[in-house]
Amino acid sequence: MRTLIRNGRLVDPASGRDAPGDLLLAEGRIAALDGDAKGASADRVIDATGLVVAPGLIDLSARLREPGYEFKATLESEMDAAVAGGITSLACPPDTDPPLDEPGLVDMLRRRAKALARARVYPIGALTAKLEGERLTEMAQLAAAGCVAFSQANTPITNTQVLWRALQYAATFGYAVWLRAEDRWLAQGGVAHDGEVATRLGLAGIPVFAETVALATLLELVRSTGTRLHVCRLSSAAGVALMRAARREGLPISCDVGIHHVHLSDRDLGYFDAQCRLEPPLRSQRDREALAKALADGVIDCAVSDHTPVDDDHKQLPFGEAEPGATGLELLLPLALKWGAEQKLGLAQTLARVTSSPARILGVGAGRIAAQAPGDVIVFDPAADFRIVPEALRSQGKNSPFLGHELAGRVRATLVAGKVVFEQP
Amino acid sequence: MPPNPQLNANGELQHLLSIEGLPREILIRILDTAESFVGVTEREVKKVPLLRGKSVFNLFFESSTRTRTTFEIAAKRLSADVINLNIAASSQSKGESLLDTVANLSAMQADMFVVRHASSGAPFLIARHVKPHEHVINAGDGRHAHPTQGLLDLYTIRHYKKDFRELTVAVVGDVLHSRVARSLIHGLTTLGVPEVRAIGPQTLMPAGVEALGVRVYHDVREGLRDADVVVMLRLQNERMSGALLPSAQEFFMTYGLTAERLALAKPAAIVMHPGPMNRGVEIDSSVADGPHSVILPQVTFGIAVRMAVMSMVAGH
């Protein structure tokens, strides 16, 4: 199967290229571009006049809710949503039920995902059994089953002895560890950023130092163990400052931010809008600005959707009782474009944060437009608006702080391994 | 910020969810209306027909005797039919969701819901889902608000002190967990009180409370100096010993209101407490029962204030 994408604006975030051109995909890969692709014979020709042709998005955190939470979402619905949102690779955190803490579960998830033949799925294994923070998982066996990293999702390890040993053990085999920086004791009972808004609304707060105390601990352990650490969902300006210093020091670290957190702050809670109940919490306007800026200057490597489908029964509740999380697969591209425009970045630079940067962290060859790169490509219209309404979302998760908003950036076609897996006029 | 969900398109009170965001004129109108009802409650026949034929549902997801009773009395004096539901002990324990409970009661032709809930914001959620002719009154939600208590506190202050614009009001104790404090603070700042003080240890002060327009004092003597009004907050039993406070005795020693401390306030200062009181923890009996105390009149005014709120949201 040879597919030719013609007359598009070809953007390669890895090289910074942003120029018109043609692209030929064959045998699952990018076979040729520009002059080499011109006039090539193909089974299928996509006319991308007026559209952007770019690598598919790589999302380092998307909950597919399988196994265990099929009432919230199924692999089918979420894989449909992913490719509709232009996401061609995604990493799923281990907080399923049961958690991804044994090879059989990982294997099953990969098989199911593969059979659906849409986005590529990279499971993140649990760092400790049942995510309980007590006993290490069989990391070598999980890695053999296909886990690309190990994580605790949203349940940080409280016992620092276990945390230290887990990092040591992972470092022994060169496994990457992806952790959120949150001190569980300091965050205990909290549902919103500990500040003026939470005080006004009478919501129990999660202080910024719940993040920085845990982050300082993690960085200190990385200094000792040399573990490759990816810090997930940074939420505060103080956290950004710690990361900036640690990177300057040369520690083997990287980090991401939830795409909602570069757009929203605790002010958006309004009158208890449970759609804004997220983990970590939306923090102050100043924190939001620092995150958006750090994502631009590279202290934060990439943005993730942190896709978390939540059904109405668990969202239509008083703020503190509502389940945290927002749907994100179909909003990642438009929200990334909106962020890039606000930061006055070019398209290549903007897309780098959701393509080539996360590809580097994941250690995969996708995320670039170059000969012999994987044939994971999207064609999108950066100017086409769409209204975020439940009916417009393929994900089973209709929970979004952006419901009712208009966002620009519509995917017209998504190709994974050279095959069209999604198309809309 | 979305539009204030308490007000209808004409800027009139549709629900009472929080004092925050209510314009000064509405607060004054509630207090004035309450004043007219104080006369009613002192008559031999204590009823007016303003809510005749209306059904008021007392929805208490968190137990309460005092507040529920005063709402019940207020509704009955307005000639409404009152249905008390102690939900903590019924459908919620069977797993029915908050909105399902409300939808069911709504199907029984409710006109007004008086809601108490342990979660901040619960009455806002309900108000977003009720029918246009139904009204929601917040009777206390989590740490967020207790607007009728705040209003009766304002009423009491106005009754004894007249001009809000010359007052110093000290609120003492567990501000962190107090919906009473939040509602009162918003009311006082809206009505132009120039100095509102919050007094307590750091462990019981919420982050950034200064943004609500208060000055924080950790030293009770400094905070009480020259105050016109002293409001003592209730300290919940479960918070008396643990990581927030070492003991009730030590709290009384450091922040309890004694006659000697009260002497630092203005000679004509009044002492208030939302009840129920912990004598010997927040307040010494000699002060609670002393000449400065207006704690019992607060309760009486509370009924008139709740009558005023109910009649106003119903459109009178």
**What's the rounded Cα separation, in Å, for the pair A228 and A380?**
34
Cβ neighbours of residue B62 closer than 8 Å, sequence gap 6 or more: B88, B116, B117, B118, B140
Domains annotated on chain B, with CATH? 24-145+300-313 (3.40.50.1370), 147-298 (3.40.50.1370)
CB-nearest to A320 from B5, B119, B179 is: B119
- Sheet of B135-141, strand order: B81-86, B55-60, B112-117, B135-141
- Chain centroid, CA B258 distance in Å: 24
| pLDDT computed for residue B90 by the predictor | 58
Which run of H or of E encompasses B109? none
Once rounded to an integer, what is the mean pLDDT over residues A8-37? 95
Which tokens hold the place of B37?
């009802």
Q: For residue B282, what is the DSSP state?
A: T
CB A51 within 8 A of CB A381: yes
Q: Which is nearest to B143 in space by CA: A74, A272, A247, A167?
A: A272
> Is A198 in contact with B207 (Cβ distance < 8 A)?
yes
Once rounded to an integer, what is the mean pLDDT over residues A381-389? 96
Cβ neighbours of residue B118 closer than 8 Å, sequence gap 6 or more: B61, B62, B141, B142
Distances (CA, A) of B46 to A301, B21, B304, B307, B308: 70, 32, 11, 12, 14
* A88 class by beta-carbon count within 10 Å (0-12 exposed, 13-18 middle, 19+ buried): buried
> What is the CATH code of the structural domain delimited by A2-53+373-423?
2.30.40.10
Cβ neighbours of residue A266 closer than 8 Å, sequence gap 6 or more: A192, A193, A195, A196, A197, A198, A281, A282, A283, A284
Once rounded to an integer, what is the mean pLDDT over residues A43-54? 97
Cβ neighbours of residue B132 closer than 8 Å, sequence gap 6 or more: none
Q: What is the mean pLDDT of chain A?
A: 96
Q: For residue B70, what is the DSSP state?
A: H
Once rounded to an integer, what is the mean pLDDT over residues A148-162? 97
pLDDT at A66 > cutoff 90: no
CB B156 within 8 A of CB B275: no
* SS3 at position A62: strand
* SS3 at position A423: strand
A312 has a chain B CB within 8 A of its CB:
no
CB A193 within 8 A of CB A281: yes
**DSSP states of A350-408:** HHHTTTHHHHHHHT-S-SS-STTSB--EEEEEEEEEEE--GGG--SS----TTTT-EEE
The residue extents of the domains of chain A are 2-53+373-423, 57-362
Q: How confident is the model at residue A67 (pLDDT cuts 50, 70, 90)?
A: confident
**What's the rounded Cα separation, in Å, for the pair A159 and A166?**
11
Residues of chain B with C-beta less than 8 angstroms from the C-beta of A198: 206-207
| pLDDT computed for residue A350 by the predictor | 98
Q: Phi first, then psi: give them for residue A358, nearest 5 degrees.
A: -65, -30
State the best of B6, B16, B120, B178 to mutate against chain A, taking most chain A CBs within 10 Å. B120
> Is A205 in contact with B206 (Cβ distance < 8 A)?
yes
Lowest mean pLDDT among A42-51, B152-161, B233-242: B233-242
Once rounded to an integer, what is the mean pLDDT over residues A2-20? 96
CB-nearest to A195 from B99, B143, B208 is: B208
**What's the rounded Cα separation, in Å, for the pair A205 and A216?**
20
Distances (CA, A) of A172 to A156, A250, B281: 21, 20, 57
A316 has a chain B CB within 8 A of its CB:
yes
State the best of B125, B129, B177 to mutate against chain A, taking most chain A CBs within 10 Å. B125
pTM (2 d.p.)? 0.95
Once rounded to an integer, what is the mean pLDDT over residues B249-269? 97
* SS3 at position A330: coil
| pLDDT computed for residue B2 by the predictor | 67
Which tokens hold the place of A234?
């940074």
Cβ neighbour number for residue B224 with a 10 Å cutoff: 23
State the best of B144, B179, B189, B205 to mutate against chain A, taking most chain A CBs within 10 Å. B144
pLDDT at A71 > cutoff 90: no
Kindly list the catalytic residues of A.
306
Find, in chain B, the residue whose alpha carbon is nearest to that of A204: B143
How far A271 CA sits from the closest chain B CA (Å)?
A: 7
| pLDDT computed for residue A36 by the predictor | 86
Residue range B250-259, pLDDT digits in tens: 999 999 999 9
A195 has a chain B CB within 8 A of its CB:
yes
What is the Cβ-side half-sphere exposure of residue A373, based on CA atoms within 13 angstroms? 24
Fill in the amino acid letter for B262.
Answer: L
Residue range B58-114, pLDDT digits in tens: 999 988 888 999 999 999 999 999 999 877 655 555 677 889 989 998 999 899 999
Q: Which CATH superfamily hosts domain A57-362?
A: Metal-dependent hydrolases (3.20.20.140)
How far A206 CA sits from the closest chain B CA (Å)?
A: 10
Lowest mean pLDDT among A72-81, A225-234, B256-265, B291-300: A72-81
**What's the rounded Cα separation, in Å, for the pair A403 and B273?**
43
> Is B145 in contact with A313 (Cβ distance < 8 A)?
no
pLDDT at B3 > cutoff 60: yes
pLDDT exceeding 70 applies to what percent of chain B?
Answer: 97
> Is A320 in contact with B20 (Cβ distance < 8 A)?
no
The radius of gyration computed from the CA coordinates of chain A, to the nearest angstrom, equals 21
Find, in chain B, the residue whose alpha carbon is nearest to that of A322: B119
